[in-house]
Amino acid sequence: MPDRYIGEKKVLTIMDSGLKTSGDIPIMEIEYEDGTKELLSSFMADKIISETACDLTVLREKRIQPVVEEVLKLLRDWGIKLNELPYMSLLLNQSLDFNQKEALLKVWSAWGAKLQSPEDVDLITIDKVLRSQTIDETIANPDK
């Protein structure tokens, strides 16, 4: 089997994680030669895995170009008007920001912090999270 790369990183294994996105797309677990792992939707994996390494700028293009194509198809199929694009963009960014903050609140709540905003986390909780792993565990498992 030929070598496979995602950007500059050499891929060791690609396995179905058994998970799916909310849109029912399989999620693949990618293990790299350096021991790190990453979860990618099969859509993304299909577009960015190649037989040759590439720099991060090329990888970004491989990642984003297919998404832009799909978004443009969606906008065309719905008949969105040009004057609606700024408002749609605003709503999209607000939704993404809200979801990110809600996810952070859930993560922090696992450490006992009941927060109104992720910015309300205190340094005691941050220290508790950081001390929950030894340095060796953190280096051996950087994605955790």
pLDDT digits (tens, 9 = 90+) for 85-142: 999 999 999 999 999 999 999 888 888 778 888 889 888 888 888 888 765 565 556 5
Query: How many of the other CB atoms lie within 10 Å of CB of 25?
Result: 13
Are 45 and 30 spatial neighbours (Cβ–Cβ below 8 Å)?
yes
| Residue 143 pLDDT | 58
Residue 142: HSE in the Cβ half-sphere, 13 Å Cα cutoff = 8
| Residue 141 pLDDT | 63
Q: Quick check: pTM over 0.85?
A: no
What span, in angstroms and rounded, lies between the C-alpha atoms of 10 and 8? Answer: 7
Would the pLDDT of 79 be above 60? yes
- pLDDT tens-digit profile of 10-68? 999 999 999 999 999 999 999 999 999 999 999 999 999 999 999 999 999 999 999 99
What average pLDDT does this structure show over 2-8? 96
| Residue 126 pLDDT | 85
